Structure 1
Amino acid sequence: MNRRRREQLGDRLRRLGLPVVSPSYEALARQAADEVLVTDPEGTVRFLSPSFSRRWNLDRWGLVGRDAFDWVHPDDRDQARELLRQACLPGAGPVDSQHRYLVRATGEVRWCRVRFSDARHERSVRGVIWNCVDTTDEKRALEALRFAASHDGLTGLPNRRSLFESFSAAADAGATCGLVLLGLDGLKAVNDRLGHSAGDDVVRRTAERLLQVAGADAVVARLDGDEFAVLVTGQERSVGQAVAVLGDRCVRAVREPLAVGGRSVSVTAGAGTALAVPDTRDARGGAAPQDRVRELFQHADIALAAAKAGGGDRALPFSRGLLDARHERAELAADLRHAVAQGQLHVVYQPLVDLAAGSTVGVEALVRWDHPRRGAVSPAVFVPVAEESDTILDLGAFVLDQALGAVSGFHAAAGSGVLVSVNLSGHQLLQPGIVELVADALARHAADPAALCLEVTESAAVADLSAARETLLRLRSLGVRTALDDFGTGYSSLSYLRRLPVDKLKIDKSFLDDVADGQGVAVLSGIAALASGLGLTTVAEGIETDQVARLVARAGCTWGQGYHFARPLAEPVVREHLARRAGRGGAQNPLWRSTTA
């Protein structure tokens, strides 16, 4: 621009009451890498660089003389003015600001990093320089990374880390915190039957339901594949009441069937609730907030474990009784590990009877524990403890070894083959090397594989159907027989029953409780007919009276087992009975009853 044109523009700006633009501003704009704005200490615009006006879609010359803070977001305006004022203090030096701009043409909000530099002493500028950089993309990328680090990718809910931070913040503020921990039951079955996309859909829909039930003031988080948590904070009384009600409401919400891929899907949940009250001793050396966080999760987890152990589909509050029971189980687990290592357990055998012929066709190996202080500990107590502590692997190997060691004696006494059944827990079924373990035990005892039947529970098989199927197929390739135990207590799905390679179906005792009425017999007959159609032998468990034995046989069941025939017997007693049977041409059921009454 020549001198005459600059003088004309200066006269025009003076007539409009606007400051005259210095040629030095243009030089400043050309040299600066950032967008440049020059204002007076109050924020009145004296100059905008071409790059600034292009970036923010502003009229470069039409804004001279106006307030630069008109384009700053209203929520950030006061803070930005204060930072500009600080930059103008004597000896202050440059001051950085990070605030939002409002692009008026589009309504878009963008982030800008600004450095305020007081250049009023410079003869060529005489103003406050704003060096501006658009950081919107950088800000959004950072926010996306932070969100991904603190939220679950499938549901968008806060993750475990984020929930801990929310809890810690509430604890630091002295709030009472209530926690609901939920564990889904049945999600694995959905994945196996309908695929993982269906399972993901169930998880997402469950998250939506929990958000709706919990309300806006609660924090709903996904902690793991099938575990959720809800955090409530506030005053002790209100939180205590809310968390008790919320646990039940969450369980009911999960229970409602879902439509997934055009099919109705049902899952349930167990829930544990706990409360953390502020520790007034904190200032005097009491429990630190982070310790209360850990304690709250531990208490809720103890309650959740108790709810699941009780069958699930319920919410239980934490109590000192549950904590004492947990400690008791930990002590029992330690004693059990010692008992297994020292050979303090023994195996007994309960007969399996052919209902039509009345002859003994096999025995089931059952483990027993006589504790030196507690006396006889029920398998219903110590087997779940063994499963929780992984002692079940050593315990299962012990029972298998004892049972195969008894096979030759049983066969010698009976003069013919006797099937010996051994239970495999869910942990054993999925244990790497279980097939090799069975093969080694068979070889060590020179036992006929056809004399061994390995029983797995319905719930264990369904927990990971594909893995269970592969393991059972490999076991059958050894020549071992297989059985599905406790049928009817789980999902009882024909689809998985058809896929599982089993030889026998053991019907749970609960089906025999009402077998005396017509409907009970009809249900039992239906199961027996189904098993027969699939080529399976049916075994009715829990037969305790002669009447039930006759009804079960009439319903079409092949074998029976229960106290009506015999209680579990020591190995020498079993051999004695088998020898009597062989000597008398096949003893009938009364032989068992007369000697075990």
Structure 2
Amino acid sequence: MKKIKNIWSLFFILFSFISIVFLYIAYLRYNAILETNKTLTSSYNKILYNSLDTTLSQNEVLLDTLAQELLSFELLKNKENSRELLQKALENSKYVIGFGLTDTKGNLLVTSANIDIKKTPNILTNDAVRTTFEKALKSDRMVVGRTYFFPPLNSWVIPVRKAVRDHEGNVLGVMIAGLVNNKQNNIFNGISLDDERTILLVHDLDKNNQYYRMYFSNKHDSDYKKMYENPLKKTTYAVLMENLQKEFHISSIDEIKDGKIYYTSTKLPNHKSIFLSISYNQKYKIWVVVSQKQAFVNTVVFDNLLSIFTIYFFIIISFVLFFRTIARKEKEKEAELIYKVNHDTLTGHYNRDYIGNDTAVIEGLKDKEFEVIFLDIDNFKNINDRFGHHVGDKVLVGLSRKLNKFFNSDDIIIRHGGDEFIVLSFSKIDHNELIELISTPCTVDELEFRLGVSIGISKYPYDSVNLDELFSMADIAMHEAKKVRNSYKYFNQEMYQKSMENSDIEHQLRHALDNDEFYMMYQPQISSDMQIYGVEALIRWENKKLGFVPPDKFISVAEDNGMILKIGEWVINRSLRDIKEIWEETGHKFHISLNISVIQFMEAGFLEVLLDAISEIGIDKTYVTLEITESLAIEEFNYVIPLLNKVRENGIEISLDDFGTGYSSLSILNKLPISEIKIDKQFVDGVLKNTENSLIKTIFSIGKNFSFKIVCEGTETAAQVEVLKEHGCDIFQGYHFSKPLKKDQLIRYIKDFYDRR
């Protein structure tokens, strides 16, 4: 980093040196161009001044000549001859568009043939003409008038007028001519100026102390009416005159009316800077101005220095590009690192570190209400274990697309890890719609997956104003939702208390196996012919700190933290060993039902572990039954069926536990390779009520139609047993026959049972 900093320092030294040299060269060249521009512009002014003076002088002589001919030969008495004379003069005059002769009152006496005298009003009716006409009556020289539009010729003209006098000096009339003044034809047609220089002829001050344009060569301005009928803005010529006075140290503008050419630069009121040369024609009272925009001169400077600019910029840009490339690479690495730090590489969503790393995000959330939505995909681990992580990753990518589609662009989606996502949602959403969207089939590598999702929700600022606490609360609510699966729960304080309790359970659970705190109990199952059919293995936990902890409290915790795999394997081994010993002790064989957790059953290699344990202990597989929940069989249908088939192929029976509490359909039941169903205690409790009888009958009818053995849990009275027998119950389990027993107690129970017979 220090090396790069030193290189940049060297770059700035070189840059400064080259810039200073270049600026000095540019300064010298700029002054040379200014001097050249001054010389050229002044030369143009001189040419224009001479051309204007010559043209006007020639027209003055022409007017004198025509006037004398008209008077000398009394042509005025013959209108046709007069018109013919003027017409011939018109044809031989390059810039004149029309001739005429008026009396002293402005009435036209005769005109060239191209002017209809009858349609031409008295010229004094035009205010632009009257002042200079009156001057012409009083002057011995030709007077140049203000440019105006002459309707009979449909053209803008520069009027020139010369009083016609007799030998005694009396004014007999005024000889007039119109000099053509348009873009195509004007008095400066023979003079070629570059496009960037503008010619301006300006009348000297009139009686109203105003300057009027007489001629303007600006090709971009075609509004003649605005150009010639409106005087120059006083601010414009005031700025110009003030500048001339300062630069040439004059007290009055009259001091430069000497025919000399003056060159200066000025900034106009419209903020445009120009260079101009100015001279004054004393004879005809006209200012000759040649102007040029300073921007053009600057362009010339740039054009002249283009090669130097090219070398200069090539060197500088090369250095800049070189160092910028280095800087960009570093920035890209930094940006990539920041992105990786804050984003999940698989889905492109933010990761769990994003909120903590970006304090601006946290600050931006303070004034908003939002929900923290914690999503956990149900049993997603099974997809990875069964189909591989590459398939699981594709499923997650598909899920992230669904989330992007469902949530607004303002919502913040975070992949919290694995199959967990957190969303900060700022708009009201339908959580059931979200669950339905996630549950829609997802096809990956020709495999169809239906995902279930458990959602926990906390609300800012109602639950907490601390983001970490909100995450924790949403997590707690999600674990509550997971008990139902494919559902959502809002956080409440009762959940928090339960979470604290689960936290204590989890802490103590980590050492329970090592401390030999688990033990097994077995509840007998009695067949309808009153024989011992088997037992259900039930795990129990006694902890020094927590005391006795029921399975419904610690099993879910073990599933969440992953300890269920070790605990489940311990249950299998301990139960099978106990049963083998009980068989040997009592001389009676019976079935053993093992409760299998969802996570345990879906774990890769589960069946191999089970078969190895059975083989090692020496248990007949046909006496082993695995109990799975109805919800597992339905939710994970596509994954469970192949596994269940393998279990059945190995001679192990399968029991569907808690039947009736889930949502299995008859078509799905027909596909499940199960051998028995266990009717939940809640149905057995109501068997003696007439209102419940029809439901029990339906459940039994379903079981019999599929040739399932029917086990009734929670049979506690003889009356229940009799009614259940009538419905066709095959196996009974409950306190009417025996409570769950430890190994030694079960041995005594079996011996006593057969001794009584």
**TM-score if structure 1 supplies the norm length?**
0.59
Spell out, residue by residue over 1:111-170, the C-alpha distance to the aligned partner (whole angstroms, 9 max, x if none): xx9x9xxxxxxxxxxxxxxxxx9xxxxx9xx99999999778999876655555667523
- Preserved CA contact (<8 Å) 2:506 2:558: yes
Q: Which residue of 1 aligns with 2:575?
A: 403
CA distance in 2, matches of 1:296, 1:363: 45
Greater displacement, 420-429 / 216-225 = 216-225
Matched position secondary structure for 2:195: helix
Residue identity matched to 1:11: D
- Preserved CA contact (<8 Å) 1:155 1:207: no
Spell out, residue by residue over 1:436-487, the C-alpha distance to the aligned partner (whole angstroms, 9 max, x if none): 4333433443222222222232334556555544544554455433333233
Q: Which residue of 2 aligns with 1:419?
A: 591
Q: Which residue of 2 aligns with 1:306?
A: 480
Residue identity matched to 2:739: R
Q: Which residue of 1 aligns with 2:424?
A: 231
Change (3 A) 1:155 1:555: farther
Q: Which residue of 1 aligns with 2:362?
A: 170
CA distance in 2, matches of 1:221, 1:278: 20
Change (3 A) 1:510 1:14: farther
- Preserved CA contact (<8 Å) 1:269 1:313: yes
Q: Quick check: 1:366 aligned with 2:533?
A: no
Quick one: which of 415, 422, 431 aligns to 1:251? 431
- Preserved CA contact (<8 Å) 1:482 1:504: yes
- Preserved CA contact (<8 Å) 2:452 2:635: no
Spell out, residue by residue over 1:246-268, the C-alpha distance to the aligned partner (whole angstroms, 9 max, x if none): 5xx5434435688779x9x9966
Quick one: which of 700, 711, 735 aligns to 1:563? 735
CA distance in 2, matches of 1:190, 1:349: 30
Per-residue deviation, 1:361:
0.6
Residue identity matched to 1:299: M
Residue identity matched to 1:304: M
Q: Quick check: 1:273 aligned with 2:458?
A: yes
CA distance in 2, matches of 1:14, 1:560: 115
- Preserved CA contact (<8 Å) 2:377 2:420: no
Per-residue deviation, 1:362:
0.5
Matched position secondary structure for 1:438: helix
Residue identity matched to 2:696: V
Quick one: which of 507, 516, 522 aligns to 1:334? 507
- Preserved CA contact (<8 Å) 2:454 2:478: no
Q: Which residue of 2 aligns with 1:483?
A: 655
- Preserved CA contact (<8 Å) 2:591 2:623: yes
Per-residue deviation, 1:301:
1.6
Q: Quick check: 1:572 aligned with 2:744?
A: yes
1:452-471 matched pairs, under 5 angstroms: 452-462=624-634, 464-465=636-637, 467-471=639-643
Q: Which residue of 2 aligns with 1:347?
A: 520
Unpaired segments ≥5 residues, structure 2: 1-36, 41-191, 199-291, 326-330, 385-390, 443-447
1:279-290 matched pairs, under 5 angstroms: none
Q: Which residue of 1 aligns with 2:306?
A: 25
Matched position secondary structure for 2:512: helix
Per-residue deviation, 1:187:
9.0
1:149-168 matched pairs, under 5 angstroms: 160=352
Residue identity matched to 1:180: V
Residue identity matched to 2:363: A
Per-residue deviation, 1:308:
3.2
Q: Which residue of 2 aligns with 1:315?
A: 489
CA distance in 2, matches of 1:485, 1:512: 14
CA distance in 2, matches of 1:148, 1:337: 34
Change (3 A) 1:198 1:553: farther
Matched position secondary structure for 2:674: coil
Unpaired segments ≥5 residues, structure 1: 1-6, 37-93, 97-112, 116-132, 134-138, 234-241, 280-288, 586-597
Who wins on radius of gyration, i.e. which is larger? 2
**TM-score if structure 2 supplies the norm length?**
0.48
CA distance in 1, matches of 2:569, 2:383: 31
Greater displacement, 403-412 / 468-477 = 468-477
Matched position secondary structure for 1:272: strand
Residue identity matched to 1:523: T
Aligned identity (percent) is 26
Spell out, residue by residue over 1:525-572, the C-alpha distance to the aligned partner (whole angstroms, 9 max, x if none): 34314532xxx4332323334444444444444323223332212223
Q: Quick check: 1:12 aligned with 2:195?
A: yes
Per-residue deviation, 1:418:
0.4
CA distance in 1, matches of 2:725, 2:419: 42
Residue identity matched to 2:456: A
CA distance in 2, matches of 1:474, 1:29: 80
Matched position secondary structure for 2:516: coil
Change (3 A) 1:309 1:435: closer
Spell out, residue by residue over 1:498-533, the C-alpha distance to the aligned partner (whole angstroms, 9 max, x if none): 55543333333344455543541343134314532x
- Preserved CA contact (<8 Å) 2:456 2:476: no
Spell out, residue by residue over 1:571-594, the C-alpha distance to the aligned partner (whole angstroms, 9 max, x if none): 233223333444455xxxxxxxxx
CA distance in 2, matches of 1:526, 1:278: 49
Question: Which structure carries more relative contact order (alpha carbon 8 Å, separation 6+)?
Answer: 1
- Preserved CA contact (<8 Å) 2:709 2:730: yes
Per-residue deviation, 1:363:
0.5
Per-residue deviation, 1:416:
4.2
CA distance in 2, matches of 1:486, 1:308: 18
CA distance in 2, matches of 1:270, 1:23: 73
